[in-house]
Structure 1
């Protein structure tokens, strides 16, 4: 008897995640508002004063600058002392947090939030590996998590993917949890791993975030670049006006959204998202959202095209 084929839109497989390696050739991720010039493209450049490095620009001289770096040509033209700024290539290790807790198991039309989160984690991991940097991650399961230490090793990525797949297959077995308490425990653990100059990508629906969540995120962002990706389902934004049936495997609920409920739901989602975005941007944290219906690579292309235009 053949084993039934699992729906890849509901449950992830290792084979499915491995297929996202090809996207490296067609996607160019850049977020201009971040501290690093190309946040998902591997190694980055930082401004340093030194000799034997690549010249980047000239700027007005500041007391304490090395006088050997004075740009005499610009100084002569402007009448004001200028110094040369050089660039050096530095490592940009990455850490990817992937939420595979119970609330991520929801999907109304195409894929579940958990599946999209796993796919995005695979894209990011391959992009970082291609840049030659270390990549590690954490798979969040609610009350528990799996941790993969950052390494510059393809086998490390495969282990990370397998942890995502394992958590995803057990997603409907997870018990309820407090997101803030769980994040507090993980933040403490992460501080021992993520020291400084990391790129930290956190993929979640950020269900029931609170001020304590913001506090932990701000602490991580003090010495690292942090990107938050909110995965959402369109049904969380807008209920259909027709009758529909909701199910959590054991129970079913029939409901019909009236105009007031539909309007309030859409307003609450946008208000919540905008408030969250406003809060995290105070700490130079980037937040964007991805839905479960539109093709993931198309959403990423549109997203980063908008970013580079700003």
Structure 2
């Protein structure tokens, strides 16, 4: 395993498993540990839920009602295009790997299964529904070593395939730089799932400096640029980023 990847896994696992765990309370009433209310006993209910102290004081049987503990379905979708191979302090793809690892370890700690997919020009399953720690390492290794150069994002594919392939109501984490967002429409997907979008960008992408004469290559499609990057082109670029 790559030394940097090993550091990411150790760091994220430590961050998650040394923190105090919580529970996923639903609005449903049922078995659990999160107290909801006391109410009078009804015929046919399980007598083990009777609060005998309160019942003795009120001279009538009362039962404790708890929030039901509900298992969540977590889906982690790193969106990896050529633009992920960039970073002034840390390569964006490494940061995406770290975020995915944190989310997966957090899911396991909560007792929830997670699945993961890589998205760009195609929709690729990495990890099937799992609660195993080994699945986090396998997912992280795939993301960390994935070669995104020459790949562009098809957001329409992302939305359509997510809707078709992820059957159960889930929490979706979409992780990418979201610089080019043509066709990115979450209306349909959000009717079925709860969605969180995590934007990963380098500070230079949002606040670039003047470079003067420059020769650049677009890692998404291989197109080359040679010209002057001055304050006027930077102002145009910042307006483009803000619009997106």
Q: Which runs of 5+ in 1 are unaligned?
A: 1-5, 29-40, 59-65, 69-83, 273-310
d(CA) in 2 for partners of 1:26, 1:258? 48
Three-state SS of the structure 1 residue aligned to 2:200 is: strand
Alignment counterpart, residue 24 of structure 1, candidates 7, 16, 20: 16
Deviations 1:139-175 (A, max 9, x none): 22433523321111122222212221331xx222x34
Counterpart mapping for 1:215-230 below 5 A: 217-230=186-199
* Structure 1 contact 47–86 (Cα < 8 Å) conserved: no
TM-score (norm 1): 0.58
**Aligned pairs, how many?**
219
Three-state SS of the structure 2 residue aligned to 1:222 is: helix
Alpha carbons of structure 1 residues 51 and 91: separation in structure 2 relative to 1, 3 Å = closer
Larger CA Rg, structure 1 vs 2: 2
Residue 91 (structure 1) shift:
0.8
Three-state SS of the structure 2 residue aligned to 1:133 is: coil
d(CA) in 1 for partners of 2:184, 2:178? 9
Alpha carbons of structure 1 residues 255 and 199: separation in structure 2 relative to 1, 3 Å = same
Corresponding position of 1:133: 112
* Structure 1 contact 143–182 (Cα < 8 Å) conserved: yes
- RMSD of Structure 2 on Structure 1 (CA): 3.5
Q: Does 1:182 align with 2:182?
A: no
d(CA) in 2 for partners of 1:92, 1:123? 16
d(CA) in 2 for partners of 1:244, 1:259? 12
d(CA) in 1 for partners of 2:82, 2:31? 53
Alignment counterpart, residue 259 of structure 1, candidates 223, 231, 241: 231
Alpha carbons of structure 1 residues 252 and 16: separation in structure 2 relative to 1, 3 Å = farther
TM-score (norm 2): 0.72
